[in-house]
Structure formats: structure tokens, C-alpha cells
Chains A and B, each alone.
Chain A
Amino acid sequence: MLLFRSEQHVDRWCQQWNRPRGGTLSLAQGWKLAQLWYGDRLDSQWRSKSASEAESVFREVGLVGEFWKLNV
């Protein structure tokens, strides 16, 4: 999960490394995702998210579609 200046730089990177274009999100979405994902990590009873819980977090951040699905 890498940071880029622009869509054009993402395309250039994908071409250089022979990778298909993946998913993109804004830095603001990334920050919200990080808060939802890691905000409870120091809780003593923390447990990893189920696939459904993870998908719910993605939806909350606006990340929807086949790329973000975990339950198949």
C-alpha cells in the first residue's frame, strides 16, 4: 500500500512493475481506515476482525466493489 502524487504516477508505477492496476483511495480515506482499523489495537481483549467486520469497515470508508470483498 503505497503513496503516490497522482493517478498518472500510479499508472506509471504499475507499468514499470508489470502490475495490474489495483484499488485506490484518497489520503483522507486512508486516515479514516487507519483509525477504524487500528484504533482498538491496544485493547486487552482485542481480536482480529472477521471478514464481514472488515468489509463493514471498508464500506464505512466508502471502499466498495469486488476489489474490497473478502467473503466470496
Chain B
Amino acid sequence: MAIGTKTSSTFDQQLRLFVYRYLLRHEKCPRVAEMAKGLARSAKNVRAGLARLSESHAFMMQEDGELWRVAPFSCIPTGFPVRVGRKLWFGNCIWDALGIPAMLAKDARIGAACACCNYDMPIEIRNGKLQTTRGLIHIAVAAREWYKDVVFT
């Protein structure tokens, strides 16, 4: 999810792409210090850039100033592991978990379970197609309220 057009500066675009490239390579989000080092900028500059990138909610920050969400990736482990080849990432929710193979245009196996009873419901994407159609997705919060209640969304 990310709604709300905002013009990005060149630095913000560089920072955004640095974060995604790091994530794809290392299977985890970079810390502020790593972004500063990688882009030869101060941590203060990086934090300011992350704050701007967070305005669309595509990026979200933890209380300690490190990344929490780089849509569709979660920077912390969740119940939505996504395996692409030998790589492992985590989605923030089932939509984001599906978003990882969608973004990468790769085959994937998503670990998922029924949120009610924890019944195992793995999902496989192969050649751009879902290999199962079992199950349904519930979004608890209306679209215009998504970022007011991220946890239940």
C-alpha cells in the first residue's frame, strides 16, 4: 500500500532504490548507518530522506528510527514468509506477501495460515500464476482508514 503522490528529490530516489537493492541482496533492511555509509551522506540526511519517503506510507519507521516497512517487505519477521529461490523475505500482510513475487516477477512460496484457526495455507506462485485459489482475504479497515489503524489493516 502507498497512496498520495509526492514529488521525490534525486536523493530520495537514490535512497529508495538503495534500500530496495540492499533488501534484495541481503534479505534484510539496511540500518540508517548502512544507508549513510552506502550513499556517503550523514545519518541526519538519511533520516530526513526516510521521513519524506514515509509520507506515502510505502516506507514506515520503527520508534528507534530504523525501518519497519519497505512495502511490500517487512523489516521484521512476520507470519508471512516469502521464499523466492534460496532467498527469504517477509511480507507485512497477505497482500504484501503476494506483492513480493509480483514486484520481482519471480516464482515464490508464501507461508500463510488461516488467521482464525492457524490452518496451514501455503501459497505458490509459478510462472506468474497462483497455484491455488483456496481461501479469501479479509481487510478489516476501510481503504481510507488504512494508515490510521495499520495493525488491524
Query: Do A and B form a real pair?
Result: yes
Residues of chain A having any CB pair with chain B under 8 Å: 1-7, 9-10, 12-14, 16-17, 19-20, 22-31, 33-35, 37-39, 41-42, 44-51, 53-54, 58, 66-70, 72
Contact A48 B116 (CB under 8 A): no
The listed residue (A7, A33, A58) touching B136 by CB distance below 8 A is A7
Contact A24 B72 (CB under 8 A): no
The listed residue (A1, A6, A37, A41) touching B137 by CB distance below 8 A is A1
The listed residue (B71, B93, B123) touching A1 by CB distance below 8 A is B93
The listed residue (A22, A26, A30, A53) touching B141 by CB distance below 8 A is A22
Q: What class of interface size applies to chain B in its complex with A?
A: 35 or more
Closest A-B pairs by Cβ, 7 of them: A48-B56, A34-B98, A2-B115, A9-B116, A38-B99, A1-B93, A34-B102
CB-defined A-B contacts under 8 Å, sample of 23:
A1-B138, A3-B137, A5-B121, A6-B136, A7-B136, A9-B116, A14-B138, A16-B116, A22-B140, A22-B141, A23-B143, A24-B136, A24-B138, A25-B139, A37-B102, A39-B105, A47-B6, A48-B57, A49-B2, A51-B4, A66-B142, A68-B142, A70-B3
Give the CA-CA distance A14 to B141 in the complex, in Å. Answer: 11
Q: Does B13 interact with chain A (Cβ within 8 Å)?
A: yes
Contact B136 A4 (CB under 8 A): yes
The listed residue (A16, A17, A50, A67) touching B5 by CB distance below 8 A is A50
Contact A45 B13 (CB under 8 A): yes
Contact A1 B143 (CB under 8 A): no
Q: Does B1 interact with chain A (Cβ within 8 Å)?
A: yes
Residues of chain B within 8 A (CB-CB) of A47 are 5-8
Q: A48-B3, A49-B2 are in contact. Are A42 and B114 (CB under 8 A)?
A: no
Q: A2-B93, A3-B94 are in contact. Are A27 and B116 (CB under 8 A)?
A: no
Give the CA-CA distance A64 to B105 in the complex, in Å. Answer: 27
Interface mask (B103-122 → A, CB under 8 Å = 1, otherwise 0): 10100000011111101010
